[in-house]
Amino acid sequence: MDRVSSFDEPLKKLLGGATAKVMAEHLDLHTVGDLLHHYPRRYEERGKLTALADLPLDEHVTVLAQVADARILMFNNGRGKRLEVTLTDGSGRLQLVFFGHGVHKPHKELLPGRQAMFAGKVSVFNRKMQLAHPTYQLLDASDADEATEAVDAFAGRLLPIYPACKQLDSWRIAKAVDAVLPSAQDAVDPLPASLREGRGFTPLPEALLKVHRPQTKADVEDAKARLKWDEAFVLQVALARRRYADTQLPAVARRPVADGLLDAFDAKLPFTLTEGQEKVSKEIFDDLATEHPMHRLLQGEVGSGKTMVALRAMLTVVDAGGQAAMLAPTEVLAQQHHRSITEMMGELAEGGMLGGSDRGTKVVLLTGSMGMAARRQALLDLVTGEAGIVIGTHALIEDKVQFHDLGLVVVDEQHRFGVEQRDALRSKGKQPPHLLVMTATPIPRTVAMTVFGDLETSVLDQLPAGRSPIASHVVPAKDKPHFLARAWERVREEVENGHQAYVVCPRIGDDAEEADGKKGKAKKKAVDEDPEKRPPLAVLEIADELRKGALAGLTVEVLHGRMHPDEKDDVMRRFAAGDVDVLVATTVIEVGVNVPNATAMVIMDADRFGVSQLHQLRGRVGRGSAPGLCLLVSEAHEASPARARLSAVAATLDGFELSRIDLEQRREGDVLGQAQSGVRSSLRMLTVIDDEEVIAAAREEAVAIVAADPELEHLPELRTVLAALLDKDREEYLDKG
Condensed to tens digits (0 to 9), the pLDDT of residues 3-15 reads: 445 777 888 888 8
The CA distance from 371 to 424, in Å, is 24
**Burial of 107 from C-beta contacts in 10 A (0-12 / 13-18 / 19+):** middle
pLDDT digits (tens, 9 = 90+) for 594-616: 788 999 999 999 988 888 788 88
Asked if 121 contacts 131 with a C-beta cutoff of 8 angstroms, the reply is yes
Q: Residue 105: which of 77, 138, 144, 73 has the closest Cα?
A: 138
DSSP 204-226: HHHHHHHHHS-SSHHHHHHHHHH
Question: In this model, does residue 567 exceed pLDDT 60?
Answer: yes
Per-residue pLDDT for 91 more than 70? yes
Helix axes 17-27, 170-180, angle to 10 degrees: 110
Pairing of strands 158-161, 42-45: antiparallel
Cα gap 186→89, rounded to integer Å: 41
Asked whether residue 447 carries a pLDDT value surpassing 80, the answer given is no
* DSSP bridge pairs for 633: 475
Secondary structure of 109-166 in the HEC alphabet?
HCCCCCEEEEEEEEEEECCEEEEECCEEEECCCCCHHHHHHHHHHHCCCEEEECCCEC
Angle at 696 between CA 694 and CA 698, to 5 degrees: 65
- pTM of the predicted model over 0.75: no
Residue 161 has pLDDT above 70, yes or no: yes
Residue 581's pLDDT is what? 95
Helices (H), 517-636: 517-529, 539-548, 565-577, 611-618
Instruction: Report whether 226 contacts 202 (CB < 8 A).
Output: yes
Q: How far apart are the first and last CA of the chain?
A: 39
**pLDDT on residue 524:** 41
Residue 669 scores a pLDDT above 70: no
Work out the burial of residue 254: count CB atoms within 10 Å of its CB; fewer than 13 is exposed, 13-18 middle, 19 or more buried. Answer: buried
Cα gap 314→316, rounded to integer Å: 5
> What does the pLDDT read at residue 420?
63
**Residue 504 burial (CB < 10 Å; 0-12/13-18/19+)?**
buried
With cut-offs at 50, 70 and 90, classify the pLDDT of residue 315.
Answer: very high
**Average pLDDT of the chain to the nearest whole number:** 80
3-state secondary structure of 62: strand
Whether 679 shows a pLDDT value over 70: the answer reads no
Nearest to 30 by CA among 133, 155, 176, 161: 176
Distance, in Å, from the CA atom of 386 to the CA atom of 178, rounded to the nearest integer, reads 68
Q: What letters, b where the CB count within 10 A reaches 16 and e where it falls short, cover 172-182?
A: bbbebbeebbe
Under 8 Å between Cβ of 251 and 292: yes
Closest CA to 20 of 172, 209, 207: 172
More confident residue, 488 or 369: 488
Q: What is the pLDDT of residues 254-270, one digit of tens each?
A: 998 888 899 999 998 88
3-state percent helix, strand, coil for the chain, nearest multiple of 5: 45, 20, 35
pLDDT score of 463: 65
Under 8 Å CB-to-CB from 545, ≥6 apart: which residues? none
* Cβ burial, residue 305 (10 Å; 0-12/13-18/19+): buried
Rounded distance, CA 559 to CA 588, Å? Answer: 8
Residue 379: band (very low, low, confident or very high) from pLDDT cuts 50, 70, 90 = very high
Do strands 406-412 and 434-439 pair parallel, antiparallel, or not at all (unpaired)?
parallel
* Per-position DSSP letters for 653-696, written without gaps between them: --HHHHHHHHHHHHHHHHHH-GGGHHHHHH-SS--TTT-HHHHH
C-alpha to C-alpha distance for 587 and 327, rounded to whole angstroms: 19
Q: How far is CA 407 from CA 124, 152, 287, 314, 723, in A?
A: 62, 70, 12, 9, 33
DSSP three-state, residue 64: strand
Q: What is the pLDDT of residue 93?
A: 87
Those residues whose C-beta lies under 8 Å from the C-beta of residue 596, and which sit 6 or more positions away, are 623, 624, 625
pLDDT of res. 634: 92
